[in-house]
Structure 1
Amino acid sequence: MEIREPTPAAADRIREVVDSSLTASFRLSPAQIDGLVDDQFADEAVTDKREDEETLLQVAETSSEIEDTTITGFVDGRLEDGWGEIRWLFVDGRLEDGWGEIRWLFVDPEHRGKGIGTELYETAIETLRDRGAEHICVTVLEANTEGHDFVERFGLEHDGDRRVEIADESVVNSVYTEPDVGATRPDSTGVDTADEEFPETKRIGGQLTTTDDGTTAYIARDEAESGTAAPFFATYEDVTHTERHGFYCANCGSLAVSMNNMDRLECNDCGNSHAERSEESYDDSYL
């Protein structure tokens, strides 16, 4: 296996790896996957990343007796700062007291189980530190059903969420950092979701969950319906969001939400009810 920077001709293969990985391991619709690939990994986007001195792009290239050398994994990282108004501080060509952020890491599903993801991650972290990163953070889409456990294996801990816009859709990125980091992490790539209150919840495998008579319900923060007091969110019985459970009331944390034949929602515990979606219904940060 070789870890190297991609050539201009690698863009097509990078998109293939990203697309197949998203399809296999992310809780996203085909339309969302197409939008994300086009938004983040189109030819122009890959070229811009390659030419940006603060961006790190590396691919894993493997070969065997059966097939020619091929790209089997891809990592996208960036040097960020935590200095507020001071954008960058370089000393002898190195970023001082900055952050190295891993934003995307994909491994072709057909080549998993060979340590490719681990090699990509460790090499990317080493490269970012060589370039001056003092601290490390990793962002994982909440919809990534396997990425949260992968990151936690390296000793990183959940340190909040960001709501980001990708391909004109609002999605949630979970942020992981090294334990007991005293520095302020960069926030230039999203909006902190700390003001989105979800009572009676806890995290399991990076996903927001609640319980109903001992049954765990997974809350889909990207499937919201308006409410008079707070939004309702669709819930599922499984981590991949295939078996529907019902709705969660963000006003009181209840799963006792009923729906009439006109698809109107109402929380039986607090009275929060479904209303037509409008600018006045609730803060857009919930969407």
Structure 2
Amino acid sequence: MEIREPKPDEAERIREVVDSSMTTSFRLSPQQIDGITDDQFGDDAVAEKIDDEDALLHVVETGEEIEGTVIAGFVEGRLADEWGEVNWLFVDPEHRGRGIGTELYETATESLRDRGADHVCVTVLEANTEGHQFVERFGLEHDGDRRIDVAGESLVKYVYTDSNIDVDLPTESRADAEDAEDAAADEFPETETTDGHLTATTDDGETVYIARDEEESGTAASFFVTYEDEDQTEQYGFYCANCGSLDVSMNNMDRLECGDCGNSHAERSGESYDDSYI
């Protein structure tokens, strides 16, 4: 296994790794995945990142007996203020289970510190549930949200930092976190952000935590599972994103209906996703 900087003519292979990794592990539609790969990892985008002095790009090259060498993983980072940020990390599903993700993460963070970063944070798309578990293995904790616009899609990334760090996030992260909170207020009425978690308040004044990755479709807007605790172990009920109500009932046929606005559950499209990750 060799970790090195990529070459401009390897953009197509990088894009293949990103596409296969996201298809396997992300709760995103094929159209969303295509938009991200084309926007962030097209030929011109990769070449621009390679020429960017503040960007850090590494690929993992593995030896194969028949095909010679192949790029099996990719990581992208960036210097921002005194921070180093790991923004993307992908491992080809066919090459997982070999410690490639760990090697990429450790190499990227070490390289960012060598370039002058005093602290390192990692961003993970909200739709990548297994990715959150991956970074938490290194002792990182969720420290805020970042909203990004990619190919016309507005997506949320979680920002992870070391638990013992008590300094401001990079300027971009702070600004994007504020934008994410503003956007959340529009998309999730009657909510607020509490310690990085989207929350709502019951009629009795209790705080409940909204799981944005546990969504059910509705005729007017989506429903989201709510929990009594921030670790999301004790379910409270459901939240209606159409009006912000927690007065959502479920009948014996698992049909949801909001008691305030009448929004009701509509069956999902039937698309399924694989949560497996690195």
Kindly report the root-mean-square deviation, in angstroms, between the aligned alpha carbons of the 2 structures: 2.7
Q: Which residue, out of 238, 245, 256, partners 1:252?
A: 245
Question: CA separation in 2, counterparts of 1:27 and 1:235?
Answer: 15
Read off the aligned partner of 2:122 and give its amino acid letter: V
Q: Which residue, out of 121, 128, 139, partners 1:155?
A: 139
How far apart are 1:41 and its partner, in Å?
A: 0.5
Question: CA separation in 2, counterparts of 1:225 and 1:34?
Answer: 27
Q: Deviations over 1:100-146 (max 9, x none)?
A: 00100000000000000000000000000000101111110011131
Question: CA separation in 2, counterparts of 1:180 and 1:122?
Answer: 19
Counterpart residue number, 2:148: 164
Unaligned runs of 5+ in 1: 82-97, 210-217, 227-231, 237-245, 259-264, 275-287
Q: State the aligned residue count.
A: 224
User: More helix per residue: 1 or 2?
Assistant: 2
Instruction: Tell me the SS of whatever aligns to 1:256.
Output: strand
Overall identity of the aligned pairs, in %? 58
Counterpart residue number, 1:88: none
How far apart are 1:273 and its partner, in Å?
A: 5.2
How far apart are 1:202 and its partner, in Å?
A: 3.6
Counterpart residue number, 1:17: 17
Q: How does 1:50-199 map to 2 (within 5 A)?
A: 50-81=50-81, 98-188=82-172, 190-192=176-178, 193-194=180-181, 196=184, 197=191, 198-199=199-200
How far apart are 1:254 and its partner, in Å?
A: 4.1
Contact 1:219 1:248 in 2 (8 A): no
Say if 1:79 and 1:65 are closer, same or farther in 2 by CA, change over 3 A. Answer: same
Say if 1:172 and 1:25 are closer, same or farther in 2 by CA, change over 3 A. Answer: same
Unaligned runs of 5+ in 2: 185-190, 192-198, 201-206, 226-236, 264-278
How far apart are 1:256 and its partner, in Å?
A: 2.5
Contact 2:64 2:70 in 1 (8 A): no
Say if 1:253 and 1:27 are closer, same or farther in 2 by CA, change over 3 A. Answer: same
Instruction: Tell me the SS of whatever aligns to 1:154.
Output: coil
Question: CA separation in 1, counterparts of 2:153 and 2:108?
Answer: 28
Instruction: Tell me the SS of whatever aligns to 2:122.
Output: strand
Question: CA separation in 1, counterparts of 2:224 and 2:138?
Answer: 30
What is the TM-score when the length of structure 1 is the normalising length?
0.71
What is the TM-score when the length of structure 2 is the normalising length?
0.73
Contact 2:212 2:224 in 1 (8 A): no
